[in-house]
């Protein structure tokens, strides 16, 4: 299984061509979008962007997306917010929005709501799609403070996904493997960042794509 992963586009439509080009060049079977498609935009904005992608898209909202994103994009992408879907024999589990921020953005969730949403759909060895990162992993802002979600971290520690994908923290780009889980934040797509993810026989490999890669 090979797919293209992106997050945090923040309505920068000029990057759509690069996403499509990279999906084509690397033979991605589908595209995973981890939210912040818009920058406090409307669901019409989100739908317009997602409809321009040339692969099947599995998407969750980010904290800067509108609260009606899940229902509103369902005709152009597979809505994964609070849902699980079997893709290529693997269980993909999604939850959009973020834990509470200091910015009062449109799509924020209390930690207990994150737990409630994920608890009922999570399973051992899943592939986890969240906009916000797990607390303590790929979640540091420039001050060094961790701002990820303790609830997501708890779910990860309990169910040991083979892959945990997140965005949200633009500076926390990277791939980290901990206790059998590969964590990835491809960096913000608005800067031309994304990733190609391969899963073969339960093994995950990630190639990060940067702004200067064409």
Boundaries of every domain in the chain:
2-209
CA distance 174 to 112: 27
Residue 5 pLDDT: 99
Q: What is the pLDDT of residue 30?
A: 98
pLDDT, tens digit, 9 for 90 and up, residues 3-26: 999 999 999 999 999 999 999 999
**Does the pTM exceed 0.85?**
yes
CATH code for the domain defined by 2-209: 3.60.21.10
Distance from C-alpha of 208 to C-alpha of 205, rounded to nearest angstrom: 10
The mean of the pLDDT values for the chain is: 97
pLDDT cut 70: percent of the chain above it: 100
Average pLDDT over residues 78-82: 98
């Amino acid at each position: 299984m090979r797919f293209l992963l992106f997050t945090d586009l923040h309505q920068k439509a000029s990057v759509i061509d690069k996403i499509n080009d990279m999906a084509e060049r690397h033979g991605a079977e589908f595209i995973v979008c981890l939210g912040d498609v818009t920058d406090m935009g409307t669901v019409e904005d989100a739908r317009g962007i997602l409809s321009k992608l040339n692969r099947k898209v599995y998407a969750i909202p980010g904290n800067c997306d509108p609260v009606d994103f899940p229902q509103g994009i369902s005709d152009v992408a597979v809505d994964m917010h609070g849902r699980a879907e079997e893709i290529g024999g693997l269980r993909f589990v999604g939850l959009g929005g973020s834990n509470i921020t200091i910015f009062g953005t449109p799509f924020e969730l209390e930690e207990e709501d994150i737990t409630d949403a994920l608890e009922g759909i999570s399973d051992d060895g899943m592939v986890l799609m969240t906009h916000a990162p797990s607390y303590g992993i790929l979640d540091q802002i420039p001050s060094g403070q961790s701002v990820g979600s303790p609830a997501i971290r708890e779910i990860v520690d309990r169910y040991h996904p083979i892959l945990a994908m997140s965005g949200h923290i633009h500076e926390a780009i990277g791939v980290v493997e901990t206790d059998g889980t590969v964590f990835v934040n491809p960096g913000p797509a608005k800067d031309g960042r994304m990733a190609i993810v391969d899963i073969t026989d339960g093994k995950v490999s990630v190639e990060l794509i940067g702004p200067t890669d064409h």
